Amino acid sequence: MKTFPIGGVHPSDNKKWSCQKPIEALELPDIVNIPLAQHIGAPATAVVAKGDKVLTGQLIAEATGFMSANIHSPISGTVSAVDMQLNAQGLRQMMITIKREGDEWMPEIDRSAEVVRECTLEPAEIIAKIKAAGIVGMGGATFPTHVKLSVPDGCKAEYLIINGVECEPYLTSDHRTMLERGEELLVGVEILKRALKVEKAVVGVENNKPDVIASLRKKAAEGGFDVVIEPLKVQYPQGGEKQLIAAITGREVPPPPGLPIHVGAVVCNASTTVAVYEAVQKNKPLIERVVTITGKEIKEPRNLLTRMGTPISKLVEKAGGLPEGDVKVVNGGPMMGRAMVCLDSPVTKGCSGVSVYSGSEAHRVEPSACIKCAKCVAACPMSLEPYLISKLAKKQMWERLEEEHITDCIECGCCQFTCPAGIALLDYVRMGKQTVMGIIRARAAANAPKK
- Within 90-119, which residues bind another protein (CB under 8 A)? 90-92
Indicate if the alpha-carbon torsion angle 336, 338, 343, 345 is positive or negative.
negative
Closest CA to 379 of 412, 401, 423: 412
Candidates 15-23, 74-82, 142-150, 428-436; binding stretch for another protein (CB under 8 A): 428-436
Closest CA to 202 of 271, 266, 262, 276: 266
**Using CB under 8 A, which residues numbered 16 to 45 contact another protein?**
none
User: Taking CB under 8 A as the rule, does residue 445 contact another protein?
Assistant: no
Bond from prior residue into 334 cis (ω within 30 degrees of 0)? no
| Identity of the residue, 46 or 245, whose beta carbon is nearer to another protein in the bound complex | 245
Candidates 23-31, 59-67, 185-193, 331-339; binding stretch for another protein (CB under 8 A): 331-339
Letters for 253-272 (x = contact with another protein by CB under 8 A, - = none) are xxx--x--------------
Indicate the DSSP class of residue 400.
H
Q: Are 73 and 4 in contact (CB under 8 A)?
A: no
User: Taking CB under 8 A as the rule, does residue 424 contact another protein?
Assistant: yes
CA distance 248 to 171: 22
CA distance 214 to 31: 40
**Using CB under 8 A, which residues numbered 351 to 370 contact another protein?**
355, 357, 362-365, 368-370
User: Taking CB under 8 A as the rule, does residue 327 contact another protein?
Assistant: yes
Q: How many residues bind another protein (CB under 8 A)?
A: 73
Residue 199: CB atoms within 10 A of its CB come to 11
| Identity of the residue, 102 or 420, whose beta carbon is nearer to another protein in the bound complex | 420
CA distance 270 to 145: 12
**Using CB under 8 A, which residues numbered 392 to 411 contact another protein?**
405, 408, 411
CA distance 178 to 188: 12
Among 198, 312, 319, 335, binds another protein (CB under 8 A): 335
| Identity of the residue, 9 or 46, whose beta carbon is nearer to another protein in the bound complex | 9
Among 228, 259, 388, 437, binds another protein (CB under 8 A): 388
Among 8, 9, 139, 209, binds another protein (CB under 8 A): 9
Q: Are strands 59-62 and 71-72 parallel, antiparallel or unpaired?
A: antiparallel
Q: Are 161 and 298 in contact (CB under 8 A)?
A: no
User: Taking CB under 8 A as the rule, does residue 438 contact another protein?
Assistant: no
User: Taking CB under 8 A as the rule, does residue 297 contact another protein?
Assistant: no
Q: Are 43 and 136 in contact (CB under 8 A)?
A: no
CA distance 126 to 148: 13
Among 246, 267, 274, 354, binds another protein (CB under 8 A): 246
**Using CB under 8 A, which residues numbered 142 to 201 contact another protein?**
169
User: Taking CB under 8 A as the rule, does residue 11 contact another protein?
Assistant: yes
User: Taking CB under 8 A as the rule, does residue 244 contact another protein?
Assistant: no
